[in-house]
Amino acid sequence: MKIALIGYGKMGKAIEAIAVEKGHTIAFKFDISNQEAFTIANLQQCDVAIEFTSPHSAVDNLKKCFEAGVPVVCGSTGWLAQWDAVTTDCESKNAALVYASNFSIGVNLFFELNSYLAKLMRHHPNYDVSLEEIHHTEKKDAPSGTAITLAEQVLAHITRKKAWVNHISDNIEELEIISERIDPAPGTHKIKYHSAIDDIEIIHTAHNRQGFASGAILAAEFIVGKKGIYSIKQVLGL
């Protein structure tokens, strides 16, 4: 594949290393230093784009890929308030998108475990539940997209919790997500069920960015030649 990297920070560099190792070509690396090169004509020279930037730029980047007719894998988080507008634009352009809050295979297995545990715990109101997430200080959004996904899975099963909040809360109907930013920390997510008798915890800790980068390349290989909107679960066959 010929790949356009949109965003060439630490994640972009990790994706590049794995892509080249797998025999793919990085045709373009777009970031703030060469915005003039980020054109529809250049995108159209590629088989797929992989977008890892920031909440304020992701939507415009995706729309440019749709306009170019280039399938795109997006791992940027913090922009989902505009999800409906983005997916409508994708469909109207007959384009292709894979979005995930986290492309790590291990994290997506963790999502499945989290959902199953929440389903088991919904009948045990003596346990309270909370989330904690830790990332590096360059992480711009809080809580992380991964933490929001985990929280929404919990809320889907534990109906005594009505909404998540990103602070410590005394409201029993609020699911608290505590966010910390510490270097170096590729990412840790913990779900804790607490009672007066005992605690139950599940934790995922990323040791580096390779898991995220490998999943993004798998998604790029999956989306080439397709139209429509896909999830990482479809990529991984979960």
Extents of the domains making up the chain = 2-103+210-236, 105-205
The CATH homologous superfamily for domain 2-103+210-236 is NAD(P)-binding Rossmann-like Domain (3.40.50.720)
pLDDT given for residue 1 in this prediction: 95
Structure tokens at 182: 């510490």
Q: What is the pTM of this model?
A: 0.79
Identical fold between 2-103+210-236 and 105-205: no
Contact yes or no for 29/9 (Cβ under 8 A) = no
CA angle (102, 80, 232) in 5-degree steps: 30
Contact yes or no for 134/185 (Cβ under 8 A) = yes
pLDDT above 90 for 214: yes
Q: What is the CATH number of domain 105-205?
A: 3.30.360.10
pLDDT band per the 50, 70, 90 thresholds, residue 182: confident
Provide the 3-class DSSP secondary structure of residue 206.
coil
CA angle (93, 99, 100) in 5-degree steps: 175
Residues catalogued as catalytic? 135, 139
187: left (phi over 0), alpha (psi -120 to 50) or beta: left
Q: Which of 6-10, 36-40, 234-238 has the lowest mean pLDDT?
A: 234-238
Which residue's entry shows tokens 């170096």?
Answer: 184
Contact yes or no for 71/43 (Cβ under 8 A) = no
pLDDT band per the 50, 70, 90 thresholds, residue 10: confident
